């Protein structure tokens, strides 16, 4: 069977839109990028002369920094536009802002926004590449891809593997991107959390719902712990942090029920002692910092493929 070698799309907005072949192409390309990133001089001239903008309406450590590193590995120019000191604060709307960036000769805009669909609106109104770096509760496609990349590194394939996604599913764009991508690749995804944090209809995406972490952990291959998003969720979704941690947190006691080779993941940032204890976050089964390392390779792969590169394998 012939492998696809290029992404025939302008933008990367979500894993919902990607075919299995496209996901596999990105992951294959990320493997090559990881090799480049590990070289003593991690630099190739592939995107020389390209201009990339990051435009984040929400805070970020991992995503924005790894896009910056990925761009520099590929020799692209990258500029971080700080929303707080941009003309957005004077009331300039999103489409006008994007059009102004575009006419300066920008080739790609990497955007994070609190509103679901904001990158889609930007993409529709722009000729340049738009990459979604997280939009509201909708998707965080590059996180989903780096999570799947990490899972494949650990266990070869995700097909048939049981993946628990635990926590605040309702407010999690990471959960949605993981569910879209993992179910397409044949994983068995179970979302686990209190009923107040699991949105109605999530089963339609291909995930099974469970409220019982202790039952599901026993035969899980991967446990992806989500951050409790204090800044988004409002009040009253669970009685107390202590009760949440007791029922849905990952701690040493609960880990005793898991398979010895279970892989523990977290997209970061971590609320230590809430969704995961430090003992587990820093323990033997975790790949949390490997996920961060892989974020550079996956984002480099996307920049390469969306800005004109072809995979040569
Ligand atoms: N996982 C993630 O998106 O982290 P940042 O918010 O730091 O980018």
> 123 and 221, same structural domain?
no
Catalytic residue status for 9: no
Shared domain for 154 and 278, answered yes or no, is: yes
> What is the spatial distance between Cα 227 and Cα 137, in angstroms, rounded to a whole number?
13
Structural domain of 42: 15-140+294-306
Number of domains in the chain: 2
Report d(CA 81, CA 74) in Å as an integer.
20
Identify whether the C-beta of residue 53 lies closer than 8 Å to the C-beta of residue 79. Answer: yes
Residue 268 inside a domain? The answer is yes
Q: Note whether 60 and 161 are same-domain residues.
A: no
Regarding whether 98 and 19 lie in a shared domain, the answer is yes
Same-domain pairing of 160 and 111? no
233 has a pLDDT exceeding 70: no
Using CA atoms, how far residue 154 sits from 52, 72, 161, 265, in Å, is: 32, 27, 12, 11
- 0.85 surpassed by pTM: yes
User: Does the beta carbon of 42 lie inside 6 Å of ligand 1?
Assistant: no
Testing ligand 1's pocket by substitution, the residue of 60, 68, 293, 295 carrying the most ligand atoms inside 8 A of its CB is 60
Distance CA 95, CA 130 (A): 13
Residues 273 and 180 both lie in one domain: yes
- CB of 268 closer than 6 A to ligand 1? yes
Give the residue with greater pLDDT, 234 vs 95: 95
Active site residue 208: no
Determine whether the annotation assigns residue 173 to a binding site.
yes
pLDDT score, position 129: 98
Question: DSSP character for 92?
Answer: -
In this structure, is residue 66 part of a structural domain?
yes
Q: Is residue 248 part of a domain?
A: yes
Per-residue model confidence as pLDDT tens digits over 171-229: 999 999 999 999 999 999 999 999 999 999 999 999 999 999 999 999 999 999 999 87
Express each pLDDT in 247-261 by its tens digit.
Answer: 999 999 999 999 999
Note whether 208 and 124 are same-domain residues.
Answer: no
CA distance 293 to 2: 30
DSSP track, 96-125: HHHHHHHHTT--EEEEEESSTTHHHHHHHT
In this structure, is residue 287 part of a structural domain?
A: yes
Ligand 1 close to Cβ of residue 267 (< 6 A): yes
How far away, in angstroms, is 2 Cα from ligand 1 center?
A: 35
The reply to whether 257 sits in an annotated binding site is no
What's the pLDDT score for residue 16? 98
One domain, residues 149 and 287: yes
Calpha distance 299→313 (Å, rounded): 19
Residue 3 domain-assigned (yes or no)? no
Q: Are residues 91 and 123 in the same domain?
A: yes
User: What pLDDT score does 238 carry?
Assistant: 76
Residue 312 lies in a domain: no
Residues 201 and 114 in one domain: no
Adjacent-strand bridge partners of 164: 190, 223
Cα separation, 40 vs 77, whole angstroms: 21
Please check whether residue 122 is in contact with residue 109, taking contact to mean a CB–CB distance below 8 angstroms: yes
42 located within any domain: yes
- The verdict on 206 and 112 lying in the same domain is no
How confident is the model at residue 152, as a pLDDT?
A: 98
Shared domain for 27 and 135, answered yes or no, is yes
CA 63 / ligand 1 centre spacing (Å): 5
pLDDT tens digits, residue range 251-288?
999 999 999 999 999 999 999 999 999 999 999 999 99
Determine, yes or no, domain membership for 82. yes
Query: The domain that contains 230 carries what CATH number?
Result: 3.40.50.1370
């Amino acid at each position: 069977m012939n492998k696809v070698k290029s992404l025939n799309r302008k933008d990367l907005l979500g894993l919902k839109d990607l075919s299995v072949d496209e996901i596999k192409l990105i992951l294959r390309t990320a493997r090559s990028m990881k090799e480049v990133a590990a070289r003593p001089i991690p630099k190739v001239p592939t995107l020389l002369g390209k201009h990339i903008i990051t435009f984040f309406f929400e805070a970020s450590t991992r995503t924005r920094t790894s896009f910056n590193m990925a761009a520099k590995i590929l020799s692209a120019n990258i500029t971080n536009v700080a929303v707080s000191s941009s003309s957005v604060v004077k009331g300039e709307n999103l489409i006008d802002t994007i059009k102004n960036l575009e006419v300066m000769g920008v080739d790609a805009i990497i955007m994070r926004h609190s509103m679901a669909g904001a990158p889609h609106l930007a993409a529709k109104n722009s000729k340049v590449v738009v990459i979604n770096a997280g939009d509201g509760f909708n998707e965080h496609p590059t996180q989903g891809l780096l999570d799947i990349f990490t899972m494949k590194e650990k266990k070869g394939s995700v097909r048939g593997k049981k993946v628990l996604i635990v926590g605040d599913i309702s407010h999690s764009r990471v959960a949605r991107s993981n569910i879209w991508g993992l179910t397409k690749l044949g994983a068995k995804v179970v979302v686990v959390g209190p009923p107040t944090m699991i949105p109605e209809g999530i089963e339609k995406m291909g995930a099974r719902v469970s409220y019982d972490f202790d039952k599901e952990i026993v035969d899980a291959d991967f446990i992806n712990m989500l951050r409790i998003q204090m800044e988004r969720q409002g009040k009253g979704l669970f009685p107390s942090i202590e009760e949440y941690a007791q029922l849905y947190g990952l701690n040493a006691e609960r880990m005793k029920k898991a398979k010895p080779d279970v892989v523990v993941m977290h997209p970061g940032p971590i609320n230590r002692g809430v969704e995961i204890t430090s003992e587990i976050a820093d323990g033997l089964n975790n790949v949390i910092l490997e996920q961060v390392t892989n974020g550079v390779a996956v984002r480099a792969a996307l920049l390469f493929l969306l800005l004109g590169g072809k995979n040569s394998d």
